[in-house]
Amino acid sequence: MAALPVLVFLGAVLVAPVLALLAYAVAQSGQGSGIGGQAWGLSAWMAPLTDGYLRQRLLWTLLQAVLTTALALVLGVPMAWVLQRLEFAGRSAMQRTLLLPFVVPTLVVALGVLALLGPHGALARVFGVSVDSGAWLLLYGNLFFNLSVVVRPAMAALAGVNASQLAAARSLGATPWRAFWRLEWPLVRPAVLAACCLVFLYCFSGLGLALVLGGQQFATLEVEIYTLVAHELALGPASILALWVAAVGAWVTTLYARLASRSITPVRVQPLPRRIPSGRTETVLVLSMALVFMCFVLLPLVAIAQAAINSIATGWQVLVDGDTLLALGNTLRFCAVTVLASSVLGLLHGLAAQRWRWLRAFLFAPLVVSSVMVGFGLLVLYPRYSGSMVLLLAGYTLVAYPFVTQSVVAALDTMPTQWLAAARLLGASPWRAFWRVTLPLLVPALRRGAAFAAATAIGEFAVTLFLSRPEWTTLTTLIYQRLGRPGASNLADAMVLALLLLLLAYGIFRVLEGPVKKESPRA
């Protein structure tokens, strides 16, 4: 029974829209012209490789994703080792702050990058230095979001290394570097490479950062799809590009699933305690990672806060403006409905996935089908309902609910089966056993998943651009509208709204997630 609502929802909101895009592209063959003015047919399907402009967009989309992945790998693994192995002042705060990129909305980060590196940013005011190239701005924003994507799973994998094995390697004369390379790295490599697949997917199919920071010169395929749909009404060519993005996403997601299945580590027998840095090398490594953390995680947040505070003197009125109050109300309303729907759907999906393991494959659906493709596919499949709030909220839920499902599945996998068996042995019905035993044990996982679902809904941008109506403006679309208007006052308004959005996202996340568990200083 639990699987039926999940399958109906996924069929209507995920599978059917993707098939509709494919059918629409095929149906347009032979009618008019395709991408770049080419006649429809095989040449139009191959336009991303044969058309000069689209080939540049494809190559740049791949290049920025690969570069970000490489940077996240090179910087993330040493940072994970430092945070997991060494004890130093500020380590816990650094580790907690690395959670923020999962919570901060995309447009807030984009404005933070502009407030730091843009022509009127902090570096330009203090040092007279600014970054004019959208390519570097986009790479910087990508790294902010994705550094922690590598750090956190790498830390979890390092925590599974047995202390006795490392001690044996050191007793045999292995240096710390050799012990890491020969013993620790083979154990953490599957988890790190799986995380790199995620980084690539997030960068390859992201819209918000590329739209705001990249500009037309460095537009990615997702930006090109949005431009074709929103400004040129070229749905046929856009559908082909969307299917290209989905094909690449499916291939990388398959690789990710294989690597993730190998990264499961056994329960630690003897954990390795953290220690004070010893020697010049480890001290330099700690200082270097602290500098990386400040440059790529902390500074954009500080820059957006400073820019917003500086703008409040002239732009505080935007907080009580009618458009802002409407957008704030819509954001909270959409977030509440999304969290409720995601919690119910995620719980049902998680329970069904325990019985039918193949349902776990749908956990990777958001990696294959981006938010742009979700919005575009729903627009093509249900044109009569493109102005329907139900359709908009369905798109929100599709993007957000896998966070709840993943959390529930992880909790169910580690739940002691003997407790449920004892309840059944005492005569409890399946429903009563679920209500009195299983559900209370799942509450922390549900809260954690709901917190990430809420953060996703508050910062959702792509689905809103495709399916929203003017009266359904959210804070993200309002910020984007202000950025598109000339004048310093509009930029100041956008900065203030971005700070409001950041505080709102973090506040709701903390309320839903619950109190933070304090860890011991020596794990």
399 shares a domain with 260: no
pLDDT tens for the chain, 523 residues long, are: 678 888 899 888 888 888 888 887 777 655 555 555 554 556 677 778 888 888 999 999 999 999 999 999 999 999 999 998 888 888 888 988 888 888 888 888 888 898 888 877 788 777 777 777 788 999 999 999 899 999 998 988 888 777 777 777 777 777 777 777 878 888 888 989 999 999 999 999 888 889 888 888 889 999 999 888 888 777 778 888 888 888 898 899 888 888 877 765 555 556 677 888 888 888 999 999 999 999 999 998 888 888 888 877 777 788 888 889 999 999 999 999 999 999 999 999 988 888 887 777 777 776 678 888 888 888 888 888 777 889 999 999 998 998 899 888 888 887 777 666 776 666 677 677 777 777 888 888 899 999 999 999 998 888 888 887 888 899 999 998 888 887 778 888 888 888 889 889 889 988 887 765 555 444 4
Q: What is the CATH number of the domain that holds 280?
A: 1.10.3720.10
CA within 13 Å, CB half, 227: 15
- What DSSP letter does each residue of 459-485 carry, written as one string? H--HHHHHH--GGG--HHHHHHHHHTS
| C-beta separation of 188 from 158 below 8 A | yes
Residue 223 forms part of a structural domain: yes
In this predicted structure, what is the pLDDT of residue 474? 92
190 shares a domain with 102: yes
3-state secondary structure of 57: helix
376 shares a domain with 281: no
C-alpha to C-alpha distances, 511 to 317, 414, 472, 514, nearest whole angstrom: 28, 25, 25, 6
**What is the distance between the alpha carbons of residues 79 and 88, in angstroms, rounded to a whole number?**
13
350 shares a domain with 282: no
Residue 490 forms part of a structural domain: no
21 shares a domain with 59: no
| Closest residue by Cα to residue 392 from 411, 404, 378 | 378
Residue 513 forms part of a structural domain: no
Residues 418-455: pLDDT tens digits?
Answer: 666 776 666 677 677 777 777 888 888 899 999 999 99
In this predicted structure, what is the pLDDT of residue 285? 92
Residue 503 forms part of a structural domain: no
Residue range of the domain that includes 131: 42-287
In this predicted structure, what is the pLDDT of residue 413? 80
329 shares a domain with 206: no
Residue 103 sits at φ, ψ, to 5 deg, of -110, -35
- What DSSP letter does each residue of 285-301 carry, written as one string? HHHHHHHHHIIIIIHHH
> How many of the other CB atoms lie within 10 Å of CB of 1?
7
In this predicted structure, what is the pLDDT of residue 200? 95
25 shares a domain with 66: no
Residues 301-312: pLDDT tens digits?
Answer: 888 888 888 877
Residue 78 forms part of a structural domain: yes
| Closest residue by Cα to residue 77 from 177, 148, 139 | 148
Residue 500 forms part of a structural domain: no
227 shares a domain with 149: yes
Last residue in a domain, options 240, 262, 287: 287
| C-beta separation of 113 from 208 below 8 A | no
In this predicted structure, what is the pLDDT of residue 31? 55
Last residue in a domain, options 448, 465, 483: 483
133 shares a domain with 100: yes
215 shares a domain with 86: yes
b (16+ CB within 10 A) / e for 329-342: ebbbebbebbbebb
Residue 415 forms part of a structural domain: yes
In this predicted structure, what is the pLDDT of residue 520? 46
111 shares a domain with 171: yes
Count how many domains the chain has. 2
In this predicted structure, what is the pLDDT of residue 264? 55
Residue 105 forms part of a structural domain: yes
Residue 32 sits at φ, ψ, to 5 deg, of 70, -150
Residue 39 DSSP code: B
Q: At what angle do helices 475-483 and 106-117 cross, to 10 degrees?
A: 30
274 shares a domain with 143: yes
